[in-house]
């Protein structure tokens, strides 16, 4: 054999696997027992937050210089994957902490980083992300939320929609138009908004199909005064920072997707081994074995894509945009397929809430929609391919 072949490229390190075991233990002991109730009551998973903070898994991506543990992108994905295996709503704690704070990490001044990252790292605050609006979802450049300069400050007016963990998070990265006459997409600036800012309120919680334990609400801004030193990056850089953020955080949605798929597959395997029909375990029927084989094959393919994208995120590779979109898109489609098949494998039992697979199926659906629908991911991938 010739050439310089690195056989460790597709192998997680011993540290990563030790981390997986530690997160899985926390998830199975402290998070999974509450998952059904969190879903049933649409309650924020406080027990999960407490357990994640106690083990430093709530925002593992924050660098050590800001009181964080400095986990790499793959380690952060493993945390999210293992929590999602037990409860997707709870996995949105580390995932959205990364989504909300990533613009600060990528684009903010040292002063803004030093002010807002340490409280999140210590578990004293959470960070959400305000980009989408009612009429500006996939078309983010079409946003109407506006920040008007007033001396050194800005006055924020408008709304944001579909904001994960809204009302629970203390900090919000919010994108707003600061130059209404400027070029589309280059007239948007990012700011940090604090929960107790005067004039900042929340809409009613959305009534959702899945991820019911993670509150989703609108943000409303009525003449909210934002000090100028809370700007993230330079004026007009907001959308660029937002899209760079998504390149990194789409990978975490891929991790969430493979987590819920793994949880559903694990449960289905245990069930078909125990369930008997025609005098034998249904796991012995070849038709079901073929379903399990396809589920496992597609899940492992998705996992490899997510891990490769995570490595590219850590390195900041030039092709991250394609790989982040591809990993999120493929993993989300696989999660929907695997969770649906898990329900099918349980038959009538899969359709009732006595078993977790119907919740997993409902939770999986959102991974095809948020942080860019899978149709938009395909647009992103095609543009990258056409650019060469």
Answer yes or no: are the C-beta atoms of 371 and 133 closer than 8 Å: no
| Whether residue 194 lies in the annotated active site | no
Cα atoms in the Cβ-side hemisphere of radius 13 Å centred on 4: 0
Cα atoms in the Cβ-side hemisphere of radius 13 Å centred on 294: 14
Phi, psi of 234 (to 5 degrees): -95, 160
| List of residues 6+ apart from 336 with CB closer than 8 A | 361, 364, 365, 367, 368
Catalytic site positions: 371
């Amino acid at each position: 054999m010739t050439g310089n072949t690195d056989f460790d490229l597709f192998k997680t390190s011993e540290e990563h696997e030790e981390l997986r075991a530690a997160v899985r233990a926390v998830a199975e002991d402290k998070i999974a027992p509450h998952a059904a109730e969190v879903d049933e009551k649409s309650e924020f998973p406080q027990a999960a937050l407490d357990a994640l903070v106690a083990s430093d898994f709530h925002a593992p991506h924050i660098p050590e210089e800001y009181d964080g543990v400095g986990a790499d992108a793959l380690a952060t994905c493993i945390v999210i994957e293992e929590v999602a295996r037990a409860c997707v709503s709870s996995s949105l704690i580390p995932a959205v902490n990364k989504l909300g704070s990533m613009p600060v990490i990528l684009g903010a001044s040292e002063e803004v980083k030093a002010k807002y990252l340490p409280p999140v790292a210590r578990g004293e605050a959470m960070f959400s992300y305000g980009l989408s609006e009612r009429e500006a979802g996939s078309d983010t450049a079409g946003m109407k939320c506006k920040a008007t300069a007033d001396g050194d400050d800005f006055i924020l007016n408008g709304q944001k929609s579909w904001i994960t963990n809204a009302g629970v998070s203390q900090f919000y990265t919010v994108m707003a138009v600061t130059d209404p006459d400027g070029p589309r997409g280059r007239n948007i600036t990012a700011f940090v908004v604090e929960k107790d800012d005067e004039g900042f309120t929340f809409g009613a919680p959305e009534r959702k199909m899945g991820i019911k334990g993670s509150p989703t609400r609108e943000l409303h801004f009525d003449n909210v005064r934002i000090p100028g030193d809370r700007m993230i990056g330079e004026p007009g850089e907001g959308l660029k920072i937002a899209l760079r953020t998504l390149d990194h955080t789409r990978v975490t949605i891929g991790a969430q997707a493979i987590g819920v798929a793994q949880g559903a597959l694990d449960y289905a395997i245990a069930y078909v081994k125990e369930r008997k029909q025609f005098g034998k375990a249904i796991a012995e029927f070849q038709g079901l074995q073929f379903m399990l084989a396809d589920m496992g094959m597609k899940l492992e393919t998705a996992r490899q894509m997510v891990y490769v994208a995570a490595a590219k995120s850590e390195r900041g590779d030039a092709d991250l945009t394609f790989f982040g979109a591809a990993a999120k898109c493929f993993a989300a489609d696989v999660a929907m397929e695997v969770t649906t098949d898990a329900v099918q494998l349980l038959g009538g039992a899969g359709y009732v809430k006595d078993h977790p697979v119907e919740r997993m199926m409902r939770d999986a659906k959102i991974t095809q929609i948020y942080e860019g629908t899978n149709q938009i991911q395909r647009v992103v991938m095609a543009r990258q391919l056409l650019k060469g």
